[in-house]
Structures are given as C-alpha cells and as structure tokens.
Amino acid sequence: MAGKGEKSKGENRVQRFFRETMGELRRVTWPTWLEARNLTVVVIIVLVAMAIFLWLVDISATKILSLVIGA
C-alpha cells in the first residue's frame, strides 16, 4: 500500500521541481517592455542619487576627521 508521503514511481523530485516551476512561471504577470524600461530608468536614477549622497558623506566625514585629528 502506498501512503500519502511516498512518491510515485514515474516522477522523482527533480522532475516534480521543474514541472511545478513551469506551472508557477505560467501564472506570473510579466511587465510590458515599457514598464520594464521605466523601472530600469528609476533604478538608475536612484543608484546615481545614492552614489552622490554617499560621496558627499565620505567627503564630509574625511574633512571632519582631518579637523579632529589635526592632520
């Protein structure tokens, strides 16, 4: 007698993984080309803004430390 926890003879874990993965990918709502492009632009803008912010923090911290240390 085969119980609930036993696997079927025709399917192993790897096959089940790929079958379930393909099923999940069919249900995904993929962004349109325009949405993907717009989101990419947003990511690049945020990346540049954060880089400038961190650069300013680095310069400020360097100047403050040089004043404190006296070098």
Question: Which whole number is the average pLDDT over 26-44?
Answer: 96
| Distances 48 to 11, 36, 42, 59, 70 between C-alpha atoms, Å | 49, 18, 10, 17, 32
**Maximum pairwise Cα distance, the chain:** 82
CB within 8 Å of 4: residues ≥ 6 apart: none
pLDDT at 70 (0 to 100) = 83
pLDDT at 62 (0 to 100) = 95
Phi, psi angle pair for 11, to nearest 5°: -140, 130
Q: How confident is the model at residue 58 (pLDDT cuts 50, 70, 90)?
A: very high
pLDDT tens digits, residue range 2-30?
555 555 566 799 999 999 999 999 999 99
pLDDT at 36 (0 to 100) = 97
pTM of the model: 0.59
